[in-house]
Structure 1
Amino acid sequence: MIKEFKEFIARGNVIDLAVGIIIGAAFTAIVSSLVSDIINPIIGLITGGTDFSSHYFVLKGEVPPNASLEVARQSGASIFAWGSFISAIINFLIIAWVVFMLVKGVNKIQTATARKKVEEEAAAPAGPSQEELLMQIRDELRANRA
């Protein structure tokens, strides 16, 4: 079992996956900061609030007036945190867009590489066909007998 585990870990795909997860986690932190520190304040200005992600409705329970989202959650009241949900949607859309652009770029590079390879193969001079080679061998054998 240990031998199989070592073989599994040594595969390139597992290493690539681990690197992807680490980079993805770092990228998620960057996108979260972009949304919470740049995009949400701008949206907050447009909607009249100072912090878009802290918008919520109290569904049931008591919350002090003008309490932050964190205080509202800690109060035990049932709240509908719509601003936090919108922030999560914005995070998702930004990450999805970047992943889309990365995949599109990789596909473009792969297509260009494949096209170049096909062009190189087409440009290479074609050698004699199998029949032509066999006729040459036949003719040389006849010439050697004579």
Structure 2
Amino acid sequence: MRKLARALITTGAAITVTIGMTTSASAAANPVSACGSGYYVQESHDLGYYQGTGGPQARAYLLYNASSGYNCAVTIVVGGQNQGRVEARLRAAGDVVMTSDEGYYNSYAGPVKIKANGRCVEYGGGTDYWASGSRHWDAWDSGLIHCG
């Protein structure tokens, strides 16, 4: 009886962990959810190539929150589960270095947030993707845009 109780408890814990991971991954698939309440998408750019659909492996987003004045960059994995690096980056005009978040993420990189009142911003992202049996890196930056 104790073995059965342990097995049920272990199975229940595994199901709880799996459900929790699925829920957070689903929530992360939305750039507004990743950046937070009050943000809206200004633009996006496709990155990499996902062989399963012929579409992008990831998509870099620039979002803005008018009430706080903050910009947000996030790169969402939209192809198959990523097995490599994903990066989101953002800077304001006059900043020498882009603020970035890069790692081995399955669903998204970021959010990266900055306040850039009266200045242009530059956002970008990158992702690993697989093509012809080997790994490739696709990175992109917008250049300075959305000034003001």
Q: Which has the larger radius of gyration?
A: 1
Structure having the larger proportion of residues in helix? 1
Q: Please say whether Structure 1 and Structure 2 have the same fold, judged by a TM-score greater than 0.5.
A: no
* TM-score (structure 2 length as normaliser): 0.28
The higher-RCO structure (CA 8 Å, 6+ apart) is 2
TM-score by length of 1: 0.28
Q: Which has the higher strand share?
A: 2
